[in-house]
Structure 1
Amino acid sequence: MKRFLPSVQTRAQASAQRMMMVYCPNPVCPKPENPSTANFCQACGSALTVSDRYRLKSLLGKGGFGRTFLATQLTTESAGEGEGRSPDRPPLCVVKQIYLGVSSLESKFGAEAQRLRRLGEHPQIPRLIEAIASTQGYFLVQEYAPGQNLQQKIETKGAWTEDRVRSLLESLVNVLQYVHSFQIIHRDIKPANIVSPSITSDRKVTLPILVDFGAARSIRHSEAKTIIGSAGYAAPEQSMGQATFASDVYSLGLTCLYLLTGLHPFDLYSAVEDRWVWQDYLPTPVEDRFAQVLNQMVARSLQQRYESMEQVALDLQSSQNLLVEGSQKIITHAKRSVPGLKSALGSASSTALNRLWSAGQQQLYKIATAKTATSSTVITREQTWRRRHRLAPDIGLVRSLSISSDGRIFASGGIDGAVRLWKLPSGKLIHSFTRRLLVRTGHAAAVTALTFHPDGKALYSASEDGTIKEWDRAGQCLLNTVPTAGWTPNDLLVSPDGTQLVSSNSDGQIVVWDIETLLPAERLTQHQKRVTAVAISYRGELLVSASDDGTVKLWKRQQIEGKWQLRLAKSLTVVPQKEGGVRGAIALALQTCDQVSGYRLIVAASTEVLRYDVNEHLEISAPITLYRSTYEIKAIALSPDGHLAVGGEERSLTLWNIERGDCAAKLAHDWGIEAIAFSPDSQTLVTASTDEVISIWQRNHS
């Protein structure tokens, strides 16, 4: 230990000596460092005091536009009037020396000073003390923000928690909304330019401070096209000199990823997979909806990224509300019905539980007391369905289900990104395809859709991580990963002949994949918004798609130049578009009638289920309302023998006989329903509900 003490002392002495130095303001001085007792530079003879008021103590940063110093104020009386002077300001300040050419120097300097003066009115942006234009050069003097910047904080103490990052993000989004309101882009948002929140002597937490507006420019001026920014944090379009407000969104998003992982953005992007893989490096997984916000912030394509901080703020608020409400539902139900969780939650902070209850009680009261269309549904025949198994395996919310063609296995996909295989009808867990760090065999985000191949050997899954994966059911291993260019696939199906996989995507496209090569064979691009669901006829000659644009489209398979291709044959408006945006069709089912080419098309549109009869010429009848609810419908499924299952936020699943048009059963659930799947023999039904329970129902023939 003693061997190293002298070197430690030497470093400390060197640091103290540097703090006792004073910098020469002459930008071309060959040796700018001087003893603090000097009044004139020992190398070039320049005065070491800027405007007789500021001494440059240490160099904070240097770039093509100038240098930034930590400085001390020698006096407070001589600061200019009208420059935001305060009699109680600290002796430390930041002095930025600007390098500009002779032409238009004064106008550019004046514009930057005016910009900083306006921006400094925000409490989380350093205030401009004064602007100095003299024979020594051009200087901007700003308040000094004490404390470590975020990069220093992470390097010394490690990655932050999700709650801490979310809080900081919400705060900085508000700051940048203010900045952007002046049509100004920061262009250099990074951890080193954000001073970390600190705790004051009275234990109050201060807000983060956004610093270094040296690269900021008005979006209206040509300077905004200058190529500038920090490597790794600058958006792709900014690196080409075309910065926009969305460029700041991108940089702020990457700053959050750095805070969550402690890794530079260069380490969080996979060039092989052409996507961000930051979730693989998280010490602790983050809430799914928050991850969605971050992924949309750092999307490399401008079309996929948030356009403004206002959009980010809106989704942050939405994700927070959904998190609180969803947590209350799970906690309340778990304490009531899951013994293992009851004791754990019973010992939790009563304050925390009460806070969750306060946020969600009104919604819970509505669900518990409202009368809906299903409350008066009359079952005309004896109910033959009963719950055989109720599975509460503590795996989180399940959003998708699929049953194999032999009816022996069903698959579930959850918000944790895992795909699980279960036995039917016992409900025994067979295998879990979970995410593995570094190896990346599983999904990195919520699973949105599942479908088995008709031969039952392969299983396909889609995820919010922007990939489709092919799994070997028997070998219980990953076969292939198919990237989808960043868009989320919302639904999947395999053609009846097993040669093609169809995905409906959030970018409004439908992609038909060749299963042998897993390459796109066709792209159908007629929808204007997210495609929510697809269905296919028994022989595969007709594909139907539903979208948030309020339309359902029918695609007919035709032979064109020797190749079978899908062509748009009919477009049906299900939900007329209204101002403010209305969610359109959300689920589909297609039934082939007894006639050679006739179909029954079932469409779930928000709170009602409609039936359309389609003849061989694809002429469509007027709709018949099969079901109407006060609450949103989340899923429908059609059994091979013609029973339609409808589930949503209402706490029961109803089964309807399509041929007779009557209600065959009402299956009670403790909470709303997320996903439904029928077995090929129509005798087994699997449902997933929002209380994280999987139910297996069977038809009783006794």
Structure 2
Amino acid sequence: MICCLNPDCPNPLNPDSNKLCQTCSTPLIPLLRNRFRVIRVLSDEGGFGRTYLSQDIDKLNERCVIKQLAPKFQGTWSQKKAMELFAEEAKRLQELGEHPQIPTLVAYFEQDHCMYLVQQFINGENLLKELQRRKVYKDRDIQAILLDILPILKFIHERGVIHRDLKPENIIRSHLDGRLSLIDFGSSKQFTSRVHNKIGTSIGSHGYSPIEQIRDGKAYPASDLFGLGATCFHLLTGISPFQLWMEHGYAWVASWRQYLRSPINAELDYVLDKLLQKDIQYRYQTTSEVIRELAPKSQLLLPPANSKATRVPTNQTKFLPRKFNILKSLVLVSAFILLFGFGDAWYQQYQHIQASLASRLSRSNHRQSNSEAVLSESATIALGNVSLAKTLKGGKNSILSVAISPDGKMIASNSDRTIKLWNLATGEEISTLNGHSLRVNVVSITPDGKTLVSGSDDNTIKVWNLATGKPIHTLIGHSDSVHALAISPDGKTIIDGSDDNTIKVWNLSTGQIIRTLVGHEFWVRSIVVSPDGQTLASGSFDKTIKVWNLAKGYAIRTLENAKTITCLAISPDGKILASASRDRTIKLWNLASGEEISTLMGHANTVTSVSFSPDGKTLVSGSRDRTIKLWNLSSKEEIFTLVGHTNTVTSVSFSPDGKTLVSGSDDHTIKIWRVAS
């Protein structure tokens, strides 16, 4: 068959013997430039031409893609702009085609008043078609897509090019090796001062392109990162950002979580939220920042920052054979040398090494899992002075928050949009509390043990009667998710922190708001009240801790930190404030003076939760490195490390008598640890 090159022909395929198109009578061209045989139409470019699948007879009929520019209205602004972009795309492919995941330029020429761009054919399927076929993407699929595309973006950004049209249709997965390729550089633009300072042409796809690009025609590396985030959102939810943009404008990005089919892990949630920030200043600015966020979340963790501080008891080595620990370290050293020394090529090498190691680790872990499965649920695994007594299965949802009742008999935990209550002694589920319309992020129990308080992505706080399981109040006032809660020691006041950057103080018995504390410039994700009820400390993603006079509602001081604050705790005597951060450290502060006392180092990834023991002698911390560490507060040294969770440890808490430690994790489990006296 021979294909008609009239872009308006409705049925372009013809028998090889035809000289004229049987549909539109246009003369047929057997070979473009005496080299390229056009086979069929791949896509229509909206009146400006078509894209064709073709064969290159000079390369043994190797398949290629030919893009045609045939604008209908000669001499118009649209025609001139289209020709400029077409020429720029050819130039970009010539410059960037050396990357193995960007199509190479084969030829660029004019024939019969049309322009033609010939590029390498990627034998695969774009992600939109893949979505339509497979329907569901898991967290790990999205993280794999990010780690495959980010090095490509890093490559083009380092060469001063912004793609400006990131969307599922422009990402193709190869049938040969599964790698993703980035196509369609027709909207790409050189990243120069001209882009910064002058309003340019608005190019991109609505819903996928950020506001600075659509409104002002400005494009930066962070603009491409928004498009990548919108693409991942589309794959996760099956909902087109274009449709949301048509209905809500850019308002949809502030509430993107409500469209999720199911909750995603905390790490991916954080990354996507930062990719999808409407205001560019709150977005990731470079691909390297995103790669650094995602790389530690892969199967191989960073080596400990301080070998002394992270020593693990010898009886824990059964979790991973020593030879694999050595091999893991060697792989990580190699991977990070490649990452920082050889640009995007690191990732392909890293994948190859990781796949080989993962296969061996999987076989080892399988044997380990089989051996552990024979242990009865009442059996304990001794780890120094702490033993793992029980693991509670939380279903398919990440455990983001756990709270222990004052009598030490019950555990409360979030479970997607519900709250589950557990018998701490037996591990049996007692009941499920229903009422929130979106994911529950945090739970807390009042000092008298009669009331539970929960904060949610639905922007509300609910107050529950624990005896009946019924809601007493729904507190409405925030414009964004609630992630942090504290209850005053007298049980009369609720304090919460929200992603709308504010802190609200509520009367627990009436549900009425007392005051709103304003001062943080980004999400407030941690709140803690001193034992005397006089002082409040709040931690924010603006990298600060604020210490407040709770009774009068004013800020006493602000403590600056180099990285995002993830959690806070105050010692039982009210003298020490502990703060954890994305820099993998825990800082101890004098609460009264605001002076830094010391820094605890040892975790290999972000510290996500901290809690003091009731006697104030021990601090426990949970981390994205999947471990729990116990610290001696007198010596400021690590006591030992608890290993067992298979994903981020999101929450840790001591029972009131200090004999039990409870941890929640993104691995969907709650672990109950017994602490020897």
The correspondence for 1:470, drawn from 462, 472, 481, is 462
In the other structure, the counterpart of 1:248 is: 224
- Looking at structure 1, the residues matched to 293 and 222 of structure 2 have their Cα atoms a distance apart, in angstroms, of 15
1:491-521 deviation digits (Å, cap 9, x = unpaired):
3212456565333467875454676568794
The correspondence for 1:180, drawn from 141, 149, 157, is 157
The correspondence for 2:297, drawn from 315, 319, 323, is 319
1:596-649 deviation digits (Å, cap 9, x = unpaired):
xxx6344356767757374xxxxx397777x9676698523364xx64541237
Q: Secondary structure at the match of 2:467?
A: coil
1:256-283 deviation digits (Å, cap 9, x = unpaired):
344455554578999799622477525x
- Looking at structure 1, the residues matched to 76 and 356 of structure 2 have their Cα atoms a distance apart, in angstroms, of 67
- Looking at structure 1, the residues matched to 445 and 594 of structure 2 have their Cα atoms a distance apart, in angstroms, of 32
**1:572 and 1:670, CA in 2 relative to 1: closer, same or farther beyond 3 A?**
closer
Q: In 2, are the aligned partners of 1:534 and 1:544 still within 8 Å (CA)?
A: yes
Q: TM-score, normalised by structure 1?
A: 0.65
In the other structure, the counterpart of 1:422 is: 422
> Once the 2 structures are TM-superposed, how far is the Cα of residue 400 of structure 1 from its aligned partner?
3.7
1:27-51 deviation digits (Å, cap 9, x = unpaired):
xx68784745444568987654355
Show the 5 A alignment for 1:353-364: 354-355=360-361
Q: In 2, are the aligned partners of 1:290 and 1:319 still within 8 Å (CA)?
A: no
In the other structure, the counterpart of 1:68 is: 50
Give the counterpart letter for 1:570 in structure 2: R
Q: Secondary structure at the match of 1:148?
A: strand
- Looking at structure 2, the residues matched to 483 and 266 of structure 1 have their Cα atoms a distance apart, in angstroms, of 30
Q: In 2, are the aligned partners of 1:24 and 1:47 still within 8 Å (CA)?
A: no
Residue 410 in structure 1 maps to residue 382 in structure 2: no
Q: In 1, are the aligned partners of 2:389 and 2:673 still within 8 Å (CA)?
A: yes
> Once the 2 structures are TM-superposed, how far is the Cα of residue 584 of structure 1 from its aligned partner?
6.7
Show the 5 A alignment for 1:219-298: 219-220=191-192, 225-242=200-217, 243-260=219-236, 262=238, 264-265=240-241, 275-277=255-257, 280-281=260-261, 288-298=266-276
Show the 5 A alignment for 1:123-522: 123-133=100-110, 136-160=113-137, 163-199=140-176, 205=177, 207-220=179-192, 225-242=200-217, 243-260=219-236, 262=238, 264-265=240-241, 275-277=255-257, 280-281=260-261, 288-321=266-299, 333=319, 354-355=360-361, 390-395=389-394, 400-404=401-405, 409-413=410-414, 419-423=419-423, 428-432=428-432, 441=437, 443=439, 447=441, 449-453=442-446, 456-462=449-455, 469-470=461-462, 472=464, 473-476=466-469, 480=474, 489=483, 491-496=484-489, 500-504=493-497, 510-512=503-505, 521-522=515-516
- Looking at structure 2, the residues matched to 107 and 548 of structure 1 have their Cα atoms a distance apart, in angstroms, of 43
> Once the 2 structures are TM-superposed, how far is the Cα of residue 480 of structure 1 from its aligned partner?
4.6
Q: In 2, are the aligned partners of 1:635 and 1:676 still within 8 Å (CA)?
A: yes
Q: Secondary structure at the match of 2:185?
A: coil
> Once the 2 structures are TM-superposed, how far is the Cα of residue 322 of structure 1 from its aligned partner?
6.2
Give the counterpart letter for 1:67 in structure 2: G
Residue 646 in structure 1 maps to residue 619 in structure 2: yes
Give the counterpart letter for 1:502 in structure 2: I
Give the counterpart letter for 1:587 in structure 2: L
Give the counterpart letter for 2:421 in structure 1: L
- Looking at structure 2, the residues matched to 71 and 622 of structure 1 have their Cα atoms a distance apart, in angstroms, of 67
The correspondence for 2:568, drawn from 569, 584, 587, is 587
1:125-163 deviation digits (Å, cap 9, x = unpaired):
222222223551333222333343333334345435555
**1:90 and 1:513, CA in 2 relative to 1: closer, same or farther beyond 3 A?**
farther
Q: Secondary structure at the match of 1:393?
A: strand
In the other structure, the counterpart of 2:374 is: none
> Once the 2 structures are TM-superposed, how far is the Cα of residue 198 of structure 1 from its aligned partner?
0.5
> Once the 2 structures are TM-superposed, how far is the Cα of residue 670 of structure 1 from its aligned partner?
6.3
1:15-36 deviation digits (Å, cap 9, x = unpaired):
xxxx6541326xxx68784745
Q: Secondary structure at the match of 1:522?
A: strand
- Looking at structure 1, the residues matched to 505 and 34 of structure 2 have their Cα atoms a distance apart, in angstroms, of 73
Give the counterpart letter for 2:439 in structure 1: H
- Looking at structure 2, the residues matched to 183 and 95 of structure 1 have their Cα atoms a distance apart, in angstroms, of 24
In the other structure, the counterpart of 1:554 is: 547
- Looking at structure 1, the residues matched to 317 and 213 of structure 2 have their Cα atoms a distance apart, in angstroms, of 45
**1:520 and 1:319, CA in 2 relative to 1: closer, same or farther beyond 3 A?**
farther
- Looking at structure 1, the residues matched to 130 and 529 of structure 2 have their Cα atoms a distance apart, in angstroms, of 54
Q: In 2, are the aligned partners of 1:399 and 1:674 still within 8 Å (CA)?
A: yes
Q: In 2, are the aligned partners of 1:513 and 1:522 still within 8 Å (CA)?
A: no
Q: In 1, are the aligned partners of 2:164 and 2:187 still within 8 Å (CA)?
A: yes
Q: Secondary structure at the match of 1:276?
A: helix
**1:651 and 1:525, CA in 2 relative to 1: closer, same or farther beyond 3 A?**
closer
> Once the 2 structures are TM-superposed, how far is the Cα of residue 392 of structure 1 from its aligned partner?
1.7
- Looking at structure 2, the residues matched to 684 and 495 of structure 1 have their Cα atoms a distance apart, in angstroms, of 24
Structure 1, unaligned stretches of length 5 or more? 1-18, 77-85, 200-204, 336-348, 360-384, 559-564, 593-598, 615-619
- Looking at structure 1, the residues matched to 541 and 202 of structure 2 have their Cα atoms a distance apart, in angstroms, of 38
From the CA coordinates, give the structure whose radius of gyration is larger. Answer: 1
**1:550 and 1:65, CA in 2 relative to 1: closer, same or farther beyond 3 A?**
same
Give the counterpart letter for 1:251 in structure 2: G
**1:456 and 1:180, CA in 2 relative to 1: closer, same or farther beyond 3 A?**
same
Q: In 2, are the aligned partners of 1:493 and 1:503 still within 8 Å (CA)?
A: yes
Give the counterpart letter for 1:390 in structure 2: A
**1:454 and 1:171, CA in 2 relative to 1: closer, same or farther beyond 3 A?**
same
Give the counterpart letter for 2:136 in structure 1: A
Structure 2, unaligned stretches of length 5 or more? 305-314, 322-354, 366-384
In the other structure, the counterpart of 1:370 is: none
Q: In 2, are the aligned partners of 1:185 and 1:218 still within 8 Å (CA)?
A: yes
- Looking at structure 1, the residues matched to 238 and 173 of structure 2 have their Cα atoms a distance apart, in angstroms, of 15
Give the counterpart letter for 1:183 in structure 2: G
In the other structure, the counterpart of 1:534 is: 527
**1:287 and 1:70, CA in 2 relative to 1: closer, same or farther beyond 3 A?**
same
In the other structure, the counterpart of 1:202 is: none
In the other structure, the counterpart of 1:603 is: 578
- Looking at structure 1, the residues matched to 437 and 13 of structure 2 have their Cα atoms a distance apart, in angstroms, of 58
Q: In 2, are the aligned partners of 1:492 and 1:504 still within 8 Å (CA)?
A: yes
Q: In 2, are the aligned partners of 1:648 and 1:674 still within 8 Å (CA)?
A: no
- Looking at structure 1, the residues matched to 228 and 21 of structure 2 have their Cα atoms a distance apart, in angstroms, of 41
Identity %: 24
> Once the 2 structures are TM-superposed, how far is the Cα of residue 97 of structure 1 from its aligned partner?
0.9
> Once the 2 structures are TM-superposed, how far is the Cα of residue 318 of structure 1 from its aligned partner?
1.7
In the other structure, the counterpart of 1:22 is: 4
Q: Secondary structure at the match of 1:138?
A: strand
